[in-house]
Amino acid sequence: MSPQPVRRNAPACSHCGEQAVIHQRYTGRYLCGTHLIADLECRVSDTIASQQQIMPGDCVAVALSGGKDSTALLLLLHRLFTFRSDVRLVAVTVDEGITGYREATVRSAVDLVRRLGIEHITVSFRELFGDSLDTFLKGRKPQACSVCGILRKKALVVGAERAGATKLATGHNLDDEAQSVLMNVLRGDLMRLVRNSGEDSDGLFIPRVKPLMYIHEKEIATYLMVQGIWPELPECPYAIHALRREVRSMLSGIEYRHPGTMLRLMENKKAVRTAFPGKTFGEPLGTCRECGDPCSGELCQFCQLRHSLLS
């Protein structure tokens, strides 16, 4: 819950004296709409440049679910690269087949790409895997997010390949990234904690980039709100089963009482990686014996899941 959107009797912006729309607790600043937009665009641009996430000649597949994070990501990238003829953006939407949820977000995605004039590719679980997530989850709802995550990752790669992409950008924000660090610690999965799909890919798959990885969820929501963009979307019905939901609520509480906690969690991951320069974390990547995709064991997660769904 940090930074906090400011509502009534808002203090003045730390830069211009206009009424603030957000209190950036970890920097101590209050920001008006104009300075929040400028701050976000500048920080995202810095992340992209410092990590060389997007380079001249890149075709970037932007994962667009139609929710807040991916909407903000596409808007930001469109703004940053709209006058760059050497970078191409293509939005990729995955329709998992979640009744009462995905229809609305897909509509929101279609509206956005039409407004921005960006090429759009949609892939669905039904087309790629033969049925909807709803059907795959019959009798296994508690595993919803792991099943969905593995299939969605595969579907996004197919979409990105169809777009001819050289990078795959996702809307993961600072809250998501800090939650992942903590979840990997809670699961005892230290290899996944330090592994970085982009850097450790060894050229085997399209590198994934996360331009919003240092932006708080609340900053993204306020960034959209001040521009009059507020997709009113339902919550995924399977979210209640997720460990992430519990971690999210715990971590937001800690961040509110101790601003900067999420950034410090991210620093831990970076510190471990920097302490072992050039080291490949986990088993070296090979290829799945069934589908040929890059993976660290004999079978990739997708093929393992395919077997368990069919059994």
Task: Using CB under 6 A, list all residues that contact ligand SF4.
Answer: 144-145, 148-149, 236, 238-239, 242
For residues 47 and 33, what is the distance between their CA atoms, to the nearest angstrom? 21
For residues 24 and 2, what is the distance between their CA atoms, to the nearest angstrom? 7
CA angle at 140 for the pair 190 and 98, rounded to the nearest 5°: 95
Which of the stretches 56-64, 98-106, 138-146, 288-296 binds Zn ion when contact is defined by CB under 5 A? 288-296
55 or 239: whose CB is closer to ligand SF4? Answer: 239
18 or 293: whose CB is closer to Zn ion? Answer: 293
- Least spacing, CB of residue 290 vs ligand SF4, in Å: 24
Helices (H), 67-211: 68-81, 102-116, 125-129, 133-136, 144-163, 174-187, 190-194
- In the list Zn ion, ligand SF4, none, the entry touching 145 (Cβ below 5 to 8 angstroms by class) is ligand SF4
- In the list ligand SF4, Zn ion, none, the entry touching 234 (Cβ below 5 to 8 angstroms by class) is none
144 or 168: whose CB is closer to ligand SF4? Answer: 144
CB-based contact 167:157 (threshold 8 Å): no
Q: Does the footprint of Zn ion cover residue 291 (CB under 5 A)?
A: yes
- In the list Zn ion, ligand SF4, none, the entry touching 291 (Cβ below 5 to 8 angstroms by class) is Zn ion
CB-based contact 94:152 (threshold 8 Å): yes
Q: Does the footprint of Zn ion cover residue 204 (CB under 5 A)?
A: no
Residue 275 phi, psi (nearest 5): -70, -20
Token readout for 265 is 């969690």
For residues 254 and 265, what is the distance between their CA atoms, to the nearest angstrom? 12
- Least spacing, CB of residue 84 vs ligand SF4, in Å: 32
Which of the stretches 33-41, 76-84, 187-195, 291-299 binds Zn ion when contact is defined by CB under 5 A? 291-299
Binding region for Zn ion (CB under 5 A):
288, 290-291, 293, 300, 303
